[in-house]
C-alpha cells in the first residue's frame, strides 16, 4: 500500500442516522463551460433535529467561490475532506453556495462531465457531491428548479428533470432554459444534459387519458436508429399499467443516448441517460441480442419511475430495494414480450456463472450489504440479480394476486418516501397474510445455500418422500449462517401422459420432508422447477433419471437443468480422468434431435454446454486450463454429433427480410449455434463464409465470424475480420463487437494483438465501452490466454487496471473482477495472479474502488 494515503474507511448500515435537516427546495443555476462551470445553489433549509447544530454538506473536488446565509456572507464553516461542516444555529435559513467544477477534466464520468461535445451528469450513487455542496444521500428529498445557461450554437438542447418552464436568448451567443420537477427526489436522480442531437419524438396516452410526450435524443445522424427504443418505451408504459396499475406521472419522458457512460443506463426522473449501445438499433448494425437488451433496459429504467423514484431508498445499503425489484419487473416484462423459458434460462445462467462466483469469492455480500467502502462497488450481480431472485421467491410464495396486493400496499404506504428493504417485505406480508419473518434472512445472509436431496418411494403406500436438507457454507466476512425459508417448487410427471401434479414446498429447517401421496412407480419428480430458489442442489441422481427429466418433464427449465447436469458430469469426467465421453455425448445429442422439440429457444439451450464459470463453481479449487480443455473437448464431441443435423438445418434455412421478432430471433439463434458446431466439427469454412457474404443483418454477420473463430479456421476469420473493419470503421458501436471478437480469440500472439487494438484509431481509454470490449473481454472471456501459465495475461490486465485507476476508477474496478479469484486456482496461476494483485495494491493513488476489492482479495479472510 501507499502509506502516505489515508486508508479508506468503511461505512456501516448499523450507523445509519437521519440527516436532521429538511431541504425544502433547491434552486440551481448552471453556467456551463467545458473548462470551468459555475454552479449557484440556493437551499431552503429547515432544522428537524433541534439538538443538532452542525450541518454537513458533501462535496468533492469543488472550488468554493462564496457561501451565504440569509443573503449575508457566512464564514462559520470548515472545509473538511469530503465537504463542508457548517455551524448552523438556525431553525430555518436560506443558504446560497457558489462553486466551480471542471467538466472537461472529469474522466470519471461521474458528476458533471464533458465528453464528445456534450455536457452530461451522472449522480448515482454519490456523484452529486462533485457538482455542488449538498446532502448527497438518498433520504434527503426535495424539489428542484434549475436554470441552464450555455452556448446556443454548440448546445442547442438544454435538458433537465421535469417540465421546461421557460427559455430565452442572451446577448453573447448564449441561451438559457429553466426546468421544474414537481416531484421531490433525492439528488442521485438529478440530471442535466446539454448538447446537439437528433431529436426523435413520439407520444403515449396513459390509461387515464393523459398525453405524454416521448423525446429521444441521439447523436446527429443517428435519428433513424431510435425507433426500437421508442417502441420499447411505449410497450413498457403499457405493461406497467396493465400489470401493476402504475402510470407515468410527468408530461414528458426524455431519453438521451451518450457515447461516454460507465454503465448501461440511468433512471434520472423524466430524463433517462443511456449508454448509446442500449438505444441505437437498426438491422444492419444491431444484433438480436442488442434489440433484446434495448427493450429490457428501456423497460428497466422506465419501471424505476415507481420502484426507485416515487419510492426510493433510505440509504445505499438498501440499493436492492429498487434494483432487485426493478430487475424482477423488467424480467417479467421481457418474459411477457418474448419467451418465458429463454428468459428464465438466461437469468439462471447469470446467477450460476456470475452471482454464485461473486458470492463464493472475496467480494461476497448479502443483497443488503452491511458494510461498504465505495458504493459504486455494490452495483453487483448480487444486489441486482440475486435481489431479483429474492423478489421472485416472494412472488412464488404469495402467488400473482398476493404479490400484486403487496405492491399496492407498498405504494399506498410509501409513495414519496425513502424506505428500507424491511418496509417492502412488511408490505408484502401485511397485504398477503403470508409470514415472511424467516424469509427476511435472505436480505442479510450472503452465500449460496446448498440443498441436498434424497428420495424414498414406498410402493406399498404409494408415497414418495423427498428429504431436503439445507446447509450454508461460510462466506467472506460471514461465518455464521442461519436457516433460510426456501421455496421448493416441484413437479410430478409421467412420461406416458400429459398429467402433472405440482406444488411449492417451504423448506424451513435443517431438514424437512416433502411427502407426496398417490404416486405410482412410473412417475418421476423434478425439483426446483423454474429455478424456484437461488441455491445449489446436491442430488444423488443417476444419469438415466436426469435424461428422463430432460426428455419428459413438463417444466422446460427442469429439462434444461437436467441437461446441464448431465453435461457437467461428462465434462468433469473428462477433466478428472481424460476419459473419452464422445459416445455419451453423441447419445444425448441424438435423443435431443429426435425428441421433436418445437420450441427452438429451448432446443438451442439444450444443445449448449454449461458455461466455464458455472463449472468452476462446482469445485472448491480448479485447474483452469484442464477444465477449459475438457470443456472444449466435450464441445468438439457435441459438434461432431450434431454436424449432419447442423448442415441440414443451415442449408434448409429460409432467409427472410430482417425483423426483430421472437420466433425469427430463435431460428437465427439455433442456426448460428449450429454453424459454430459445424465449423468446429468439419473445419470447413464455406457455410460460414456464405452466411457472412449474404447476411442482411448483424446477428448473422457476427454469427459467421464467431463460428470461424476456432483454431482450425483462424485464417478465414482474419480475412473476414479485415473486411468487417473496413465496412464499419466509422461506427464505434459495431467496432466494439469487432474489438471484442479479437480480444476473445485464443491465439498465442494475443498480447501484441491487444496492443494493436488499443492503438486503433477509434480506441480510447477514456471510453468505457472501448475498454470493456478489449480489456474486459480478454479478462472475462478469453480463459486460455488470460490464465496462461506464465502469468502474462494477468500482467496485461493489471497494467491496464493501474492505468485506468487514475482515469476512471469505476471501470478499473469492474474489470478487476477476474483477477480477484486467485484463491480458487491451482498451479502457478494462483501465485501469478496474487503477484499482480499485490502490484496493484502497491500503486500510489489507488482509488477507493480498486482498494476495496484488492484488499478484500488479498486479505486473510
Ligand atoms: N441505477 C442504474 C440502473 O439500475 C445503474 C447505475 C448505478 C448507474 N450507478 C450508475 C448507471 C452509474 C450509470 C452510472 O439502471
Ligand atoms: Zn436499476
Beta bridge partners of 478: 475
> Do 455 and 423 share a domain, yes or no?
no
Is residue 690 over pLDDT 90?
yes
For residues 677 and 675, what is the distance between their CA atoms, to the nearest angstrom?
Answer: 5
pLDDT value, residue 541 = 82
Q: Is 253 in the pocket of ligand 1 (CB under 6 A)?
A: no
Q: Is 379 in the pocket of ligand 1 (CB under 6 A)?
A: yes
For residues 770 and 817, what is the distance between their CA atoms, to the nearest angstrom?
Answer: 18
CATH code at position 58:
2.60.40.1730
Q: Is 122 in the pocket of ligand 1 (CB under 6 A)?
A: yes
Closest ligand 1 atom, CA of 301? Answer: 15
Task: Assess if residue 208 is contained within a domain.
Answer: no
CATH code at position 517:
2.60.40.1840
Closest ligand 1 atom, CA of 122? Answer: 14
Is residue 298 over pLDDT 80?
yes
CA-to-CA dists, residue 395 to 305, 399, 445, angstroms: 21, 5, 20
> Do 352 and 412 share a domain, yes or no?
yes
Cα end-to-end span (Å), the chain? 18
pLDDT value, residue 2 = 41
> Do 90 and 152 share a domain, yes or no?
yes
Give the pLDDT mean for 281-294.
Answer: 97
Closest ligand 1 atom, CA of 326? Answer: 4
Q: Hey, which of 124, 260, 298 would you mutate to test ligand 1's pocket, going by the most ligand atoms within 8 Å of its Cβ?
A: 124
pLDDT value, residue 345 = 98
Q: In 10 A of CB 749, how many CB atoms?
A: 10
CATH code at position 383:
1.10.390.10
CATH code at position 635:
1.25.50.10
> Do 489 and 378 share a domain, yes or no?
no
Which ligand has its closest atom nearest to the C-alpha of 321?
Answer: 2
* Model confidence pLDDT, tens digit, residues 9-39: 999 999 999 999 999 999 999 999 999 999 9
* Model confidence pLDDT, tens digit, residues 736-749: 999 999 999 999 99
Is residue 515 over pLDDT 50?
yes
pLDDT value, residue 860 = 63
Q: Is 849 in the pocket of ligand 1 (CB under 6 A)?
A: no
Is residue 596 over pLDDT 90?
yes
Question: Separation of 273 CA from ligand 1 center, angstroms?
Answer: 9
Task: Assess if residue 64 is contained within a domain.
Answer: yes
> Do 428 and 477 share a domain, yes or no?
no
* Model confidence pLDDT, tens digit, residues 239-259: 999 999 999 999 999 999 999
How is residue 728 written as a grid cell? 464499419
* Model confidence pLDDT, tens digit, residues 138-162: 999 999 999 999 999 999 999 999 9
> Do 158 and 48 share a domain, yes or no?
yes
> Do 493 and 413 share a domain, yes or no?
no
Task: Assess if residue 832 is contained within a domain.
Answer: no
Residue of 60, 96, 215, 301 marked active site: 301
Residue nearest to atom 5 of ligand 1 (CA): 266
Among candidate residues 444, 475, 500, the one where a domain is terminated: 444
Task: Assess if residue 374 is contained within a domain.
Answer: yes
Question: Separation of 626 CA from ligand 1 center, angstroms?
Answer: 37
* Model confidence pLDDT, tens digit, residues 45-70: 999 999 999 999 999 999 999 999 99
Is residue 508 over pLDDT 70?
yes
**159 Cβ contact list (under 8 Å, min separation 6):** 148, 177, 179, 191, 192, 193, 194, 217, 254, 256, 271
Residue nearest to atom 13 of ligand 1 (CA): 263
Confidence of residue 323 (pLDDT cuts 50, 70, 90): very high
Q: Is 262 in the pocket of ligand 1 (CB under 6 A)?
A: yes
Task: Assess if residue 587 is contained within a domain.
Answer: yes
Q: What is the mean pLDDT of the chain?
A: 97
Task: Assess if residue 81 is contained within a domain.
Answer: yes
Among candidate residues 414, 444, 474, the one where a domain is terminated: 444
Question: Separation of 323 CA from ligand 1 center, angstroms?
Answer: 10
> Do 399 and 338 share a domain, yes or no?
yes
Is residue 5 over pLDDT 60?
no
Task: Assess if residue 148 is contained within a domain.
Answer: yes
CA-to-CA dists, residue 247 to 204, 207, 239, 301, 329, angstroms: 11, 7, 10, 14, 15
Is residue 829 over pLDDT 80?
yes
> Do 713 and 664 share a domain, yes or no?
yes
Q: Hey, which of 266, 294, 319 would you mutate to test ligand 1's pocket, going by the most ligand atoms within 8 Å of its Cβ?
A: 266
> Do 401 and 486 share a domain, yes or no?
no
Q: Hey, which of 126, 193, 255, 379 would you mutate to test ligand 1's pocket, going by the most ligand atoms within 8 Å of its Cβ?
A: 379
> Do 46 and 106 share a domain, yes or no?
yes
Q: Look up the domain containing 335 and give its range.
A: 314-444
Residue nearest to atom 10 of ligand 1 (CA): 124
Give the pLDDT mean for 587-616.
Answer: 98
Confidence of residue 7 (pLDDT cuts 50, 70, 90): confident
pLDDT value, residue 294 = 98
Question: Separation of 387 CA from ligand 2 center, angstroms?
Answer: 11
Closest ligand 1 atom, CA of 300? Answer: 15
301 is catalytic: yes
> Do 437 and 460 share a domain, yes or no?
no
Q: Hey, which of 115, 128, 264 would you mutate to test ligand 1's pocket, going by the most ligand atoms within 8 Å of its Cβ?
A: 264
Q: Is 323 in the pocket of ligand 1 (CB under 6 A)?
A: yes
Is residue 4 over pLDDT 60?
no
Is residue 3 over pLDDT 60?
no
Domains held by the chain: number: 4
Give the pLDDT mean for 789-799.
Answer: 98
Among candidate residues 444, 466, 496, the one where a domain is terminated: 444
For residues 35 and 37, what is the distance between their CA atoms, to the nearest angstrom?
Answer: 7
Task: Assess if residue 401 is contained within a domain.
Answer: yes
For residues 235 and 302, what is the distance between their CA atoms, to the nearest angstrom?
Answer: 10
Amino acid at each position: 500500500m501507499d502509506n502516505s494515503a489515508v486508508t479508506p474507511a468503511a461505512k456501516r448500515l448499523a450507523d445509519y442516522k437521519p440527516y436532521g435537516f429538511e431541504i425544502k427546495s433547491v434552486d440551481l443555476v448552471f453556467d456551463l463551460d467545458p473548462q470551468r462551470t459555475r454552479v449557484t445553489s440556493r437551499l431552503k433549509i429547515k432544522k428537524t433535529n433541534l439538538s443538532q447544530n452542525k450541518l454537513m454538506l458533501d462535496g468533492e473536488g469543488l472550488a468554493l467561490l462564496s457561501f451565504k446565509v440569509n443573503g449575508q456572507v457566512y464564514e462559520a464553516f470548515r472545509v473538511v475532506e469530503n465537504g463542508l461542516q457548517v455551524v448552523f444555529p438556525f431553525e430555518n435559513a436560506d443558504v446560497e453556495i457558489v462553486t466551480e467544477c471542471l467538466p472537461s477534466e472529469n474522466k470519471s464520468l461521474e458528476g458533471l462531465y464533458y465528453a464528445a461535445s456534450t455536457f452530461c451528469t451522472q449522480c448515482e450513487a454519490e456523484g452529486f457531491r462533485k457538482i455542488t455542496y449538498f446532502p448527497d444521500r438518498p433520504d434527503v428529498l426535495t424539489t428542484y428548479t434549475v436554470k441552464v445557461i450555455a452556448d446556443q450554437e454548440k448546445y442547442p438542447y438544454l435538458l433537465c428533470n421535469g417540465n421546461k418552464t421557460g427559455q430565452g436568448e442572451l446577448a453573447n451567443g448564449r441561451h438559457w432554459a429553466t426546468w421544474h420537477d414537481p416531484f421531490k427526489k433525492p439528488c442521485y436522480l438529478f440530471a442535466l444534459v446539454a448538447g446537439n442531437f437528433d431529436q426523435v419524438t413520439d407520444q403515449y396516452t396513459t390509461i387515464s387519458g393523459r398525453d405524454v410526450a416521448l423525446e429521444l435524443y441521439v447523436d446527429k445522424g443517428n435519428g433513424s436508429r431510435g425507433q426500437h427504443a421508442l417502441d420499447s418505451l411505449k410497450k413498457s408504459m403499457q405493461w406497467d399499467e396493465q400489470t401493476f396499475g402504475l402510470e407515468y406521472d410527468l408530461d414528458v419522458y426524455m431519453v438521451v443516448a451518450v457515447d461516454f457512460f460507465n454503465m448501461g443506463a440511468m433512471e434520472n426522473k423524466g430524463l433517462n441517460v443511456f449508454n448509446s449501445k442500449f438505444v441505437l438499433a437498426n438491422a444492419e448494425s444491431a444484433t438480436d441480442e442488442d434489440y433484446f437488451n434495448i427493450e429490457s433496459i428501456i423497460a428497466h429504467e422506465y419501471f424505476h419511475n415507481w420502484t426507485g423514484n416515487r419510492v426510493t431508498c433510505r440509504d445505499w445499503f438498501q440499493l436492492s430495494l429498487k434494483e432487485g425489484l426493478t430487475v424482477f419487473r423488467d424480467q417479467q416484462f421481457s418474459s411477457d414480450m418474448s419467451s418465458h423459458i429463454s428468459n428464465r434460462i438466461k437469468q439462471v445462467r447469470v446467477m450460476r456463472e456470475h452471482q454464485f462466483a461473486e458470492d463464493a469469492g472475496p467480494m461476497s455480500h448479502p443483497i443488503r450489504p452491511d458494510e461498504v467502502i465505495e458504493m459504486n462497488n455494490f452495483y453487483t450481480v448480487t444486489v441486482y440479480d440475486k435481489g431479483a431472485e429474492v423478489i421472485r421467491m416472494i412472488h412464488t410464495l404469495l402467488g400473482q394476486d398476493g404479490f400484486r396486493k403487496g405492491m399496492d400496499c407498498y405504494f399506498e404506504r410509501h409513495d414519496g418516501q425513502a424506505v428500507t428493504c424491511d418496509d417492502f417485505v412488511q408490505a408484502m406480508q401485511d397485504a398477503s397474510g403470508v409470514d415472511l419473518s424467516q424469509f427476511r434472512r435472505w436480505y442479510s445472509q450472503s452465500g449460496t445455500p446448498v440443498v441436498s436431496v434424497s428420495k424414498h418411494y414406498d410402493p406399498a403406500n404409494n408415497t414418495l418422500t423427498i428429504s431436503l436438507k439445507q446447509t450454508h457454507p461460510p462466506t467472506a466476512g460471514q461465518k455464521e449462517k442461519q436457516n433460510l425459508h426456501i421455496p421448493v417448487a416441484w413437479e410430478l410427471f409421467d412420461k406416458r401422459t400429459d398429467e402433472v401434479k405440482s406444488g411449492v414446498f417451504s423448506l424451513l429447517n435443517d431438514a424437512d420432508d416433502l411427502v407426496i401421496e398417490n404416486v405410482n412407480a412410473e412417475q418421476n419428480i423434478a425439483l426446483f422447477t423454474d429455478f424456484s430458489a437461488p441455491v445449489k442442489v446436491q442430488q444423488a441422481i443417476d444419469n438415466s433419471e436426469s435424461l428422463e427429466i430432460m426428455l419428459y418433464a413438463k417444466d422446460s427449465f427442469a429439462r434444461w437443468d437436467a441437461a446441464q447436469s448431465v453435461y457437467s458430469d461428462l465434462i468433469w469426467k473428462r477433466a478428472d480422468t481424460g476419459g473419452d465421453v464422445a459416445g455419451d455425448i453423441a447419445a444425448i445429442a441424438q435423443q435431443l434431435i429426435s425428441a421433436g422439440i418445437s420450441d427452438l429457444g429451448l432446443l438451442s439451450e439444450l444443445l449448449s454446454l454449461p458455461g466455464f464459470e458455472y463449472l468452476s463453481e462446482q469445485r472448491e479449487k480448479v485447474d483452469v486450463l484442464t477444465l477449459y480443455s475438457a470443456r472444449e473437448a466435450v464441445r468438439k464431441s457435441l459438434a461432431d454429433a450434431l454436424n449432419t443435423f447442423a448442415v441440414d438445418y443451415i442449408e434448409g434455412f429460409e432467409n427472410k427480410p430482417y425483423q426483430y421478432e421472437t420466433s425469427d430471433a430463435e431460428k437465427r439463434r439455433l442456426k448460428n449455434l449450429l454453424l459454430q458446431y459445424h465449423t468446429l466439427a468439419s473445419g470447413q469454412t464455406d457455410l460460414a463464409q456464405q452466411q457472412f457474404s449474404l447476411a442482411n443483418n448483424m446477428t448473422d454477420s457476427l454469427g459467421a465470424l464467431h463460428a470461424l473463430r476456432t483454431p482450425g479456421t483462424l485464417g478465414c476469420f482474419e480475412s473476414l475480420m479485415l473486411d468487417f473493419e473496413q465496412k464499419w470503421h466509422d461506427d464505434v458501436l459495431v467496432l466494439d463487437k469487432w474489438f471484442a471478437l479479437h480480444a476473445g480469440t485464443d491465439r498465442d500472439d494475443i498480447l501484441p494483438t491487444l496492443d494493436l487494438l488499443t492503438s486503433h484509431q477509434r480506441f480510447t481509454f477514456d471510453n468505457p465501452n472501448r475498454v470493456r470490449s478489449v480489456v474486459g473481454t480478454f479478462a472475462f472471456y478469453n480463459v486460455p490466454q488470460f490464465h496462461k501459465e506464465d502469468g502474462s495475461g494477468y500482467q496485461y490486465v493489471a497494467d491496464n487496471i493501474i492505468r485506468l485507476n487514475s482515469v476512471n476508477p469505476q471501470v478499473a474496478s469492474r474489470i478487476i473482477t477476474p483477477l480477484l479469484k486467485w484463491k480458487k486456482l491451482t498451479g502457478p496461476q494462483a501465485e501469478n495472479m496474487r503477484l499482480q494483485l499485490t502490484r496493484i495494491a502497491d500503486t500510489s493513488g489507488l482509488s477507493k474502488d480498486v482498494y476495496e476489492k484488492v484488499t478484500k482479495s488479498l486479505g486473510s479472510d
